[in-house]
Amino acid sequence: MLSRLSLIRQSRRTVAQISHLKPPKQITNEPVKAFAGKDTVEWDLLRASISKFKSASLDVPLVIDGKRIYYNEGGRSHFKQTNPAHHSQVLANVTQATREDVKKAIESSKKAKNDWYKMPFYDRAAVFLKAADLISTKYRYDMLAATMLGQGKNVYQAEIDCITELSDFFRFNVKYASDLYAEQPCESSPGVWNRAEYRPLEGFVYAVTPFNFTAIAGNLIGAPALMGNTVVWKPSQAACLSNYLLLTVLEEAGLPKGVVNFVPGNPVEVTKEVLADKEFSALHFTGSTAVFKQLYGDIQQGVVSNLYRDYPRIVGETGGKNFHLVHPSANIPHAVLSTLRGAFEFQGQKCSATSRLYIPESKSAEFLNDLAGTLSSIKPVNTSASKINGGDLHGFMGPVIHEQSFNKLAKVIEEAKSDPELEIIYGGNYDKSQGWFVEPTVIKTTNPTHKFMSTEFFGPVLTVYEYPDNEFDKICEIIDTTTEYGLTGSIFARDRDAINVADEKLKYSAGNFYVNDKCTGAVVAQQWFGGARMSGTNDKAGSSNILSRFVSIRNIKENFYELTDYKYPSNYE
């Protein structure tokens, strides 16, 4: 006899991907808390959460089929996630998945799929809506503390990431999914009912997530899961603390076991196991271009060698070499402050960060003096280091993420010191005595196609080129052709003709193009985010478009008429 639960599941079957309810209320962006003034309740709550995470390191397990597996079980190894502002402080001991663990995570995803995708949309949606509420209320301070300490963010940068952007992703995805499901064939002949069923992909989704945004990790797992897919999640080794906390919030919100399987570990090993499975059906990736290219090639190879059942969907957002172009008509003080924020907030570790600047010769001295003067008000590296370790939550800049990144940036700065085409005009210091600190650094180049104008450094390094005022069209062409990327860029001008020229000539240079604003800080549902060329597949996180990548539509035609003859009217004899 069928159990009551099975009967309910069966009856739900038909409503899972076709009918749905509208979200409960008007969905809007989560407001950013300002954290102004030191002695507020918000600060007290935040300090308490920070102390909690600093007082003892957390053991982060694998989570497979809802079960926690810790590194001391079965002789698994583990790695440490440390505080980038104080690298001797271990925040988390993270269990490292073995090949067997990854296999189990895949099996768990396959097993959980059947019940998850048959759940009505409103049940799946409720999990993400509740998670968004938990993030913005009960877990706000823990989420902030885990992201600030683990990923080196100040409170503002953490707030716009793991609170507002993350809850916006979860809530707006519900609205977008609801709208998508409502989109149905617009014609049905008399006696016919045509329907579109938005099936999840047939296999499982592999989410590979970056260190720099907790919100992006949330969207990489959340978008496919909302559409009824199940996910194997390989988090960044440098973001396991916040990412594990996020998973526990989703569980508290009702995410069934096995829907998201959390397997931190060696990226190459984990990925090898996942890409070898016949039912691998999509990669949802954000990270560097080099890694994405590698995975893209591996997947294509798998297709060619008949490894997979489907053509796996490949959705990836990757690197950038984002530009600010300043026209002589621009408001220079505004362009300076926008550039400072775009290039240096969160230490330039946003994919969208400004990393090349083009200024007209006539405004160069004014611009660069103003920039240097304003940069000098940012606390020097060492002071900043000791304060952040002691809890300077108010500072504008913090550490870069890890030793590998620090070493790469130090090498870049040293290279700049000896290159005759480069001149360091601000900064150029770095200090790893306590944390991974790199001073905001501005480098002037005489060569607009120098590799410093085309290579992503992913740190607080800005390269500047002065162009002749009368070569505005030409500089647009140079900007367009200097890099392989096409992520973000800005034009600063008051002259409408200049804005129009830039708009046209830089059409494919950026997937997010800004007029008189910095090229970072895209907000879910406001600036759909992503770039083309080698910056990614441009499926636009924060828009409805991305959800369509995680469904495989089935068209159903139901006929109400019964045939009485095989002939058509034209078949008369």
Ligand X SMILES: NC(=O)c1ccc[n+]([C@@H]2O[C@H](COP(=O)([O-])OP(=O)(O)OC[C@H]3O[C@@H](n4cnc5c(N)ncnc54)[C@H](O)[C@@H]3O)[C@@H](O)[C@H]2O)c1
Instruction: Report CA-CA distances (Å) from 20 to 182, 221, 530.
Output: 8, 22, 29
Angstrom distance (rounded) from CA 286 to CA 172: 19
521 near ligand X, judged by CB under 6 A: no
Cα atoms in the 13 Å half-sphere on the side-chain side of 26 = 2
Q: How many CB atoms lie within 10 A of CB 572?
A: 6
350 makes contact with ligand A1AUG (CB under 6 A): yes
Residue 260 contact, options ligand A1AUG, ligand X, none, Cβ 5-8 Å cut-off depending on partner type: none
Site string for ligand A1AUG, 481-520 (x = CB under 6 A): ---------------------------------------x
Residue 89 contacts residue 82 (beta carbons within 8 Å): yes
Q: Measured from the CB atom, is 348 or 435 closer to ligand A1AUG?
A: 348
546: contact with ligand A1AUG by CB under 6 A: no
Site pattern 244..283 for ligand X (x: CB under 6 A): -----------------------xx--x------------
209 binds ligand X (CB under 6 A): yes
- Indicate the burial class of 44 (C-beta count within 10 angstroms; 0-12, 13-18, 19 or more): exposed
Q: Which of residues 307-336 bind ligand X (CB under 6 A)?
A: 317-320
Task: Name which of 78 and 130 has its Cβ closer to ligand X.
Answer: 78
Q: How far apart are CA 161 and CA 148, in angstroms?
A: 10
Q: Are 351 and 212 in contact (CB under 8 A)?
A: yes
Largest CA distance in the chain: 97
Q: List the one residue from 50, 216, 413, 479 that touches ligand X (CB under 6 A).
A: 216
β strands within 405-497, DSSP E? 422-426, 430-431, 437-438, 441-445, 461-467, 488-492
CA atoms within 13 A on the CB side of 566: 0
For the chain, the 3-state helix, strand and coil shares in percent, each to the nearest 5, are 45, 20, 35
- Give the nearest distance from C-beta 476 to ligand A1AUG in angstroms: 22
Which of 144, 461, 475, 522 touches ligand A1AUG (CB under 6 A)? 522
Out of 168, 431, 456, 466, name the contact with ligand X by CB under 6 A: 456
Quick one: what does residue 520 bind among ligand X, ligand A1AUG, none, with the CB cut-off 5 to 8 Å set by partner type? Answer: ligand A1AUG
Is residue 338 within 8 Å of residue 324, measured between CB atoms?
yes
**Residue 435 contact among ligand A1AUG, ligand X, none, beta carbon within 5 to 8 Å by kind:** none
Catalytic option among 30, 159, 273, 317: 317
Residues 6+ apart with CB under 8 A from 249: 131, 134, 135, 139, 143
Binding mask 202-231 for ligand A1AUG (x = CB under 6 A): ----------xx------------------
Least distance from C-beta 343 to ligand A1AUG, angstroms?
Answer: 12
Q: Which is nearer to ligand A1AUG, 204 or 213 (CB)?
A: 213
Pick from 460, 529, 544, 549 the residue near ligand A1AUG by CB under 6 A: 529
How is residue 411 written in tokens?
Answer: 């090498």
**234 sits near ligand X (criterion: CB under 6 A):** yes
Choose the stretch contacting ligand X; rule: CB under 6 A; options: 68-76, 176-184, 203-211, 426-434.
Answer: 203-211
**Residue 209 binds: one of ligand X, ligand A1AUG, none (C-beta under 5 to 8 A by kind):** ligand X
How many Å is the Cα radius of gyration of the chain? 26
Active site residue 317: yes
Residue 41 has a CB neighbour count (10 Å cut-off) of: 7
Cα–Cα distance, 338 to 331 (Å, whole number): 11
Pairing relationship of beta strands 441-445 and 422-426 according to DSSP bridges:
antiparallel
Residue nearest to ligand A1AUG (CB): 522
Binding site for ligand X (CB under 6 A): 208-213, 216, 234, 236-237, 267-268, 271, 286-288, 291, 294-295, 317-320, 351, 456, 458, 487, 535-536
Binding site for ligand A1AUG (CB under 6 A): 212-213, 350-352, 520-522, 529
Give the residue numbers annotated as catalytic, written as ranges: 317
